[in-house]
């Protein structure tokens, strides 16, 4: 049986979908949301506004030998419903992993947030072996949802 190559977590957050979406589409806030500890800061990126946008993040991690930057190519954008991006080392094309956020209103002040980390598009076996996917754990993704909940309700 093939191993699942994605992790999905969900949480209902006490905030309207538009507030959650506003937070997720602002790269300046991503370091505060990141439960993995890899995201350090945004590199003067504009708000995500459409599929095709690219935003740069300053990162850190032993898997990359310390400090590095990523280009994040927006692959999904539906206002107040969905945003997603594929991450790549700065200046390169995305090798196939994607982060997707889906928002489903549960009333005027509550949103079911589904966050998926999907590396099924990574086909380079050497990269799969080097990185050791999943690089981010389910617990770290759940921590990200907790940080998002705190940020939008705070």
Q: 129 Cβ partners below 8 Å, 6+ apart?
A: none
Model pTM score: 0.94
Instruction: Encode pLDDT of 59-80 as tens digits.
Output: 998 878 889 999 999 999 999 9
Whether 12 has a pLDDT exceeding 80, the answer reads yes
Instruction: Encode pLDDT of 33-49 as tens digits.
Output: 999 999 999 998 899 99
CATH dotted code for 6-153: 3.30.530.20
- Domain locations along the chain: 6-153
Confidence of residue 2 (pLDDT cuts 50, 70, 90): low
Cα gap 85→57, rounded to integer Å: 12
Whether 1 has a pLDDT exceeding 50, the answer reads no
Cα gap 74→87, rounded to integer Å: 9
Please calculate the CA angle 67-43-20 and round it to the nearest 5 degrees.
110
**Mode of pairing for the β-strands spanning 6-13 and 98-105:** unpaired
């Amino acid at each position: 049986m093939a191993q699942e190559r994605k992790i999905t977590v969900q949480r209902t957050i006490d905030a309207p979908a538009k507030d959650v979406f506003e937070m997720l589409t602002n790269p300046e806030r991503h370091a505060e949301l990141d439960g993995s500890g890899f995201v350090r800061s945004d590199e003067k990126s504009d708000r995500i506004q459409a599929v095709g946008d690219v935003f740069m993040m300053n990162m850190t991690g032993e898997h990359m030998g310390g400090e590095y930057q990523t280009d994040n190519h927006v692959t999904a954008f539906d206002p107040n419903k969905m945003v997603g991006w594929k991450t790549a080392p700065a200046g390169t094309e995305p090798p196939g992993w994607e982060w997707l956020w889906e928002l489903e209103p549960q009333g005027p002040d509550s949103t079911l947030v589904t966050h998926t980390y999907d590396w099924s598009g990574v086909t380079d076996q050497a990269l799969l072996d080097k990185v050791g996917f999943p690089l981010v754990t389910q617990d770290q993704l759940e921590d990200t949802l907790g940080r998002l909940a705190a940020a939008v309700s705070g």
